[in-house]
Amino acid sequence: MKSAIIVLIILGNSFSLPAQNWPGLPVEVVSQFGTKLPDGRFEVEMGVVTESEETQAPWDGEVVFQGNLDNPWLRGWNDSRGDYLSLSGPDLIRLQISGLTFIPGNDKNKFQKGDRLGLFVSKSNNLNSPLSKYYALSVYNSAENRWLNPSQQFPTWLDNRDPVVVQAQVKGENGELILLGPRSTMGIGYWSIIVDVYDLTPGHNRPLAFQYLGGFLNGTPFFEWSWDQLQIKKGVYEGTDGVGVPQSSGTLWPLGRVFVNQGTNIFDLMVKDSQGNITRRTYRLIGSLRP
């Protein structure tokens, strides 16, 4: 049997899905929405490993289409993603589930929450997990042409690992770089702040996207970013309210320019993941009259 993509368009009255069950349990997240890929794109899926064999419908839906890799629409998908289903609702919210096979003969037009949709077949190879099955989720608002963060659409899962702050540095107008410690001296003037941050999930050490990143100078926010949604317009990635995604490089994030006054300036950094784990760092930027 071929593995499958299932596309669900959710029945509801808002662009946030009801907090229902996962397609397979238990849940261990191994890839995250917003993670920057080697080719420069940003991940719109969330990868999950589970020990469940069966795929269950997380809510009620109506099947409007079923396809497979013979369909030209799917030729861009890799070999692990074969047939797919589409369940339709008025809000045109779509949920894609990949890494399973549709059950032969399961051709009814409507599903109810908990109905069996298929079987997970993709192996969780090289993921260093005792769980044997892998699937991926993506949530798409087709009315507004936006991808939504799946981690905000499903129940919470066990995650006791805090986001990681590798380092923070500032770059002066003349190109001078200073690696920040708890207390760092620099010239008075404008400095650009760059941070190296990412999230981790239990049992996996692959750097993943955080949920929220904030930079504050003397208590005033000068940078805030949240991975709530993602839209692509003419090759440009935009987040919430059409704000462009900062030009990050891997896990390096430019927070922008700040003016360092003479004396002590407090730079606070906060990183939060989708399950509420928070990492904070405080740096004292000492503005000095240099010769």
Please indicate, yes or no, if residue 215 is contained in any of the structural domains.
Answer: yes
Q: Are 136 and 209 within one domain?
A: no
Please indicate, yes or no, if residue 181 is contained in any of the structural domains.
Answer: yes
Q: How far is CA 55 from CA 77, 93, 185, in A?
A: 20, 19, 57
Q: Are 141 and 172 within one domain?
A: no
Q: Are 145 and 175 within one domain?
A: no
| Res. 100: pLDDT tops 80 | no
Question: Reduced to 3 DSSP states, what percent helix, strand and coil does the chain have, rounded to the nearest 5?
Answer: 5, 50, 45
Q: What percent of the chain has pLDDT over 70?
A: 73
CATH code for the domain in which residue 105 is found: 2.70.70.10
Q: Are 141 and 200 within one domain?
A: no
| Res. 78: pLDDT tops 60 | no
Q: Are 92 and 215 within one domain?
A: no
Type of residue at 234: K
Work out the pLDDT band at 207, boundaries 50, 70, 90. very high
Picking from 131, 152, 173, the residue at the C-terminal end of a domain is: 152
Please indicate, yes or no, if residue 197 is contained in any of the structural domains.
Answer: yes
Q: What percent of the chain has pLDDT over 90?
A: 37
Q: Are 113 and 57 in contact (CB under 8 A)?
A: yes
Please indicate, yes or no, if residue 158 is contained in any of the structural domains.
Answer: no
User: What tokens does 9 get?
Assistant: 């368009």
Work out the pLDDT band at 79, boundaries 50, 70, 90. very low
- Facing residues of 8 across strands? 87, 95
Number of helical (H) and strand (E) elements in the chain, helices listed first:
0, 23
Comparison of pLDDT for 132 and 14, the residue scoring more: 132
pLDDT in tens, 23-69: 888 888 888 999 988 888 889 888 888 888 888 877 777 666 665 54
Type of residue at 75: R
Q: What Rg do the C-alpha atoms of the chain give, in angstroms? A: 22
| Overall domain count for the chain | 2
The whole domain housing 278 covers: 164-288
Please indicate, yes or no, if residue 178 is contained in any of the structural domains.
Answer: yes
| Res. 71: pLDDT tops 70 | no
Highest mean pLDDT among 76-85, 137-146, 195-204, 269-278: 269-278
What pLDDT is recorded for position 180? 98
| Res. 3: pLDDT tops 70 | no
Picking from 152, 173, 199, the residue at the C-terminal end of a domain is: 152
What pLDDT is recorded for position 144? 86
What is the three-state SS of the chain?
A: CCCEEEEEEECCCCCCCCCCCCCCCCCEEEECCCCECCCCCECCCEEEEECCCEEECCCCEEEEEEECCCCHHHCCCCCCCCEEEEECCCCCEEEEEEEEEECCCCCCCEECCCCEEEEECCECCCCCCCCCEEEEEEEEECCCCEEECHHHCCCCCCCCCCCEEEEEEEEECCCCEEECCCEEEEECEEEEEEEEEEEEECCEEEEECCCEEEEEECCEEEEEEECCEEEEECCEEECHHHCECCCCECCEEEEEEEEECCEEEEEEEEEECCCCCEEEEEEEEEEECCC
Please indicate, yes or no, if residue 159 is contained in any of the structural domains.
Answer: no
What pLDDT is recorded for position 271? 98
Q: Are 146 and 191 within one domain?
A: no
pLDDT in tens, 121-173: 666 554 556 666 778 788 888 888 888 898 888 888 889 999 999 999 999 99
What pLDDT is recorded for position 272? 97
Task: Please list, in sequence order, all residues whose beta carbon lies within 8 angstroms of the beta carbon of residue 31, skipping any fewer than 6 positions away.
Answer: 43, 45, 46, 47, 136, 206, 208
User: pTM, whole model, 2 decimals?
Assistant: 0.84
Q: Are 232 and 188 within one domain?
A: yes
| Res. 12: pLDDT tops 50 | no
Picking from 89, 123, 152, the residue at the C-terminal end of a domain is: 152
Among candidates 24, 91, 33, which has minimal Cα distance to 245? Answer: 33
| Res. 19: pLDDT tops 50 | no
Q: Are 177 and 276 within one domain?
A: yes
Please indicate, yes or no, if residue 75 is contained in any of the structural domains.
Answer: yes
Comparison of pLDDT for 178 and 238, the residue scoring more: 178
CA max distance for the chain: 80
Q: Are 108 and 179 within one domain?
A: no
What pLDDT is recorded for position 117? 76
Q: Are 26 and 144 within one domain?
A: yes
Comparison of pLDDT for 252 and 24, the residue scoring more: 252
What pLDDT is recorded for position 245? 82
Please indicate, yes or no, if residue 59 is contained in any of the structural domains.
Answer: yes
Mean pLDDT value of segment 108-117:
76
Q: Do strands 212-217 and 116-120 pair parallel, antiparallel, or not at all (unpaired)?
A: unpaired
CATH code for the domain in which residue 276 is found: 2.60.40.10
| Res. 213: pLDDT tops 60 | yes
Comparison of pLDDT for 259 and 73, the residue scoring more: 259
Q: Are 132 and 187 within one domain?
A: no
Q: Are 107 and 65 within one domain?
A: yes
CA distance 227 to 249: 16
